[in-house]
Amino acid sequence: MSRLNRADAVLLVIDVQERLMPVIHEHEEVERNVDRLLRGARILDLPALVTEQYPKGLGATVEPVRRALLETYGYRPIEKSCFSAWGCGELHAELRTLRRKQVLLAGVEAHVCVYQTAVDLVANGHEVFLIADAISSRTARNRDLALQRMLTEGAKLASTEMALFELLVEAGTEEFRAISRLVK
């Protein structure tokens, strides 16, 4: 049983895109939590990767998340056509370069791209932390089934706030104050 470790973690946001998000269950909460995760990851000096599934058809990453990316990391999405982000050579290269084995996973749709990515990451030696309040599908049922299935495949469950404070480790620092403001 391992905990999140800042030196070994990376945030991976899957397909939070313009034409997809309006039909996603609790999409506003998912977008808000992805934004918090990106801003929190920046405070904690974690790398972040973002994918876009067939952006020509599904559009770019939604504006609030794109804005958070621009302010914190720059906007450089990994375009993909396969459901699993692991199937994209660019993601492999990024993860190899980063040399980080813990993946905080957020995005949509839980039962398709998030699920297939999580299973592939676990199968390839990564420790996957599902940020449940930043993951969804068009229906709550599909989201819930996907979360259950990913857990049985070896992923771990967390929330946005849980993950950020676990990575933070201690109170009383400037980072703690910044994270505290972020989650309020």
Strand ranges inside the chain, DSSP E = 9-14, 48-53, 78-80, 102-108, 127-136, 156-158
| Residue 120 known to be catalytic | no
Q: Is the Cα torsion angle 145, 63, 39, 88 positive or negative in sign?
A: positive
* From 15, 35, 120, 133, active-site residue: 15
Token code pair at residue 57:
């058809």
113 is known as an active-site residue? yes
Candidate list 56, 82, 88, 113, residue with the active-site label: 113
Closest CA to 158 of 125, 131, 121: 131
Q: Is 14 exposed, middle or buried (0-12, 13-18, 19+ CB in 10 A)?
A: buried
Residue 82: active-site member: no
d(CA 68, CA 75): 9
Which of 35, 45, 56, 80 is the catalytic position? 80
Residues that are catalytic: 15, 80, 113
